[in-house]
Each structure stands twice: as structure tokens, then as C-alpha cells.
């Protein structure tokens, strides 16, 4: 089971000198992400996706939920990383500053939905890299489709889901990506 390979990991060298508040926040964030990714409904979905893509589950050695965020050189936060040789996947949080702003703007519920969805999308993305290696375009395209498959059950219940989808995918996608169109695509590949 994928869920048994998941754990929270602190990279001591990247720790810098965080305040008590930062440590507390990021620890809470990481345990929330771990719980979210381990939920049986999502685990079931991942097993289905791996089967569909012919990715053998044993290719995943471990999934690390990294406690502190990682900034890319261009300033964009890294959502995940996959070492395809080792079968090691790492999932990163957003920065405390971003999270505080989102919470102030949109409230705690929307923030929670965003953080969980972003982690799910990151894990889907990195798992797909095990098969599509450096084909980033293909991985991004499939990530959107698979994420939409998982999200469509929730979108009916949660009015925030469409805007969450856009927040996660818009920075890297075409400006006017049409969520309903993606759902159409998603239905074609859903179980």
C-alpha cells in the first residue's frame, strides 16, 4: 500500500532559523497533508490511476511530506519532486506568508481545501513522472485530467472547488483554461 510508504520528513539543512510560530505552523501543515494523502478515498483513487497507467506500485519506494517549503531560483514555490531512479517522491508546502494571505482573503475552509488539493495534485503529478520521466507537458496535462476526476465528486458539494482548481493549475496553464471542459475530458477516463 502506498499509504504505508508515506512519512513526514524534515530537511535539517534547509531549516535555517525558523521561529517557534513557523515550526508550529509547518508541522501542523505537514500532518494535515499526510492525513489528506492517506485518506482511503484518495488511496483508492491512486491505486486505480497507477493500474490504469501501468505504473507498478513497488516503483514507489517512499513519499516524503517535507515540512519546510522549498523556493525555486525563479521564486516560485516547488510543489513536489520525483527522483525516478530511487522512486522517491517529495511533497512541499506553500510558505507561511502565502497561507496567511489566503486565509485572510478567503477564510480557513477555503485554505484547507486548497492545501489538501495542492498536495493531492502534487502527488498525482510526481507519480506520473515515474512513467513519463521528463515529458513535463504530458505529465501536466494528465495531472489536470486525473485531478479533475478525483475532484468532480467534490465539486458538486463544494463551491470553492472550481477556484481551487484554477489556483493550482492556472499559473502553469493557459490563462483561460476551462474547468468544465476539463471535467468533460475527465469523464472520458474516469472508472
Smallest gap from Cβ 139 to Zn ion, in A, equals 5
Smallest gap from Cβ 129 to Zn ion, in A, equals 6
Report the residue number, 25 or 64, with the smaller CB distance to Zn ion: 64
Region of 82 (left: φ > 0; alpha: ψ -120 to 50; beta: rest) is beta
54 three-state secondary structure? coil
The 10 Å Cβ neighbour count of residue 29 is 20
Count of residues near Zn ion by CB under 5 A: 2
Report the residue number, 141 or 155, with the smaller CB distance to Zn ion: 141
Smallest gap from Cβ 104 to Zn ion, in A, equals 30
Residue with cell 507537458: 137
Contacts (CB under 5 A) with Zn ion, residues 126-155: 136, 139
Report the residue number, 1 or 133, with the smaller CB distance to Zn ion: 133
CB 160 within 8 A of CB 109: yes
9 three-state secondary structure? strand
Report the residue number, 101 or 136, with the smaller CB distance to Zn ion: 136
CA atoms of 78 and 70, how far apart (whole Å): 6
Which positions touch Zn ion (CB under 5 A)? 136, 139
Amino acid at each position: 500500500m502506498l499509504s504505508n510508504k508515506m512519512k513526514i520528513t524534515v530537511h535539517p539543512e534547509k531549516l535555517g532559523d525558523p521561529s517557534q510560530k513557523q515550526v508550529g505552523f509547518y508541522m501542523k501543515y505537514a500532518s494535515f497533508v499526510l492525513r489528506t494523502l492517506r485518506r482511503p478515498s484518495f488511496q483508492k483513487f491512486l491505486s486505480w490511476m497507477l493500474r490504469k497507467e501501468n505504473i507498478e506500485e513497488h516503483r514507489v519506494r517512499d513519499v516524503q511530506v517535507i515540512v519546510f517549503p522549498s523556493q525555486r531560483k525563479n521564486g516560485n514555490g516547488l510543489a513536489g519532486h520525483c527522483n525516478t531512479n530511487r522512486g522517491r517522491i517529495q511533497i512541499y508546502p506553500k510558505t507561511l506568508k502565502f497561507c496567511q494571505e489566503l486565509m485572510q482573503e478567503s477564510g480557513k475552509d477555503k485554505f484547507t481545501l486548497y492545501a489538501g488539493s495542492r498536495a493531492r495534485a502534487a502527488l498525482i503529478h510526481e507519480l506520473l513522472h515515474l512513467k513519463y520521466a521528463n515529458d513535463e507537458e504530458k505529465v501536466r496535462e494528465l495531472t489536470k485530467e486525473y485531478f479533475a476526476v478525483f475532484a468532480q465528486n467534490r465539486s458538486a458539494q463544494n463551491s470553492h472547488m472550481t477556484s481551487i482548481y484554477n489556483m493550482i493549475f492556472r499559473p502553469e496553464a493557459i490563462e483561460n483554461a476551462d474547468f468544465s471542459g476539463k471535467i468533460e475530458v475527465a469523464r472520458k477516463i474516469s472508472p
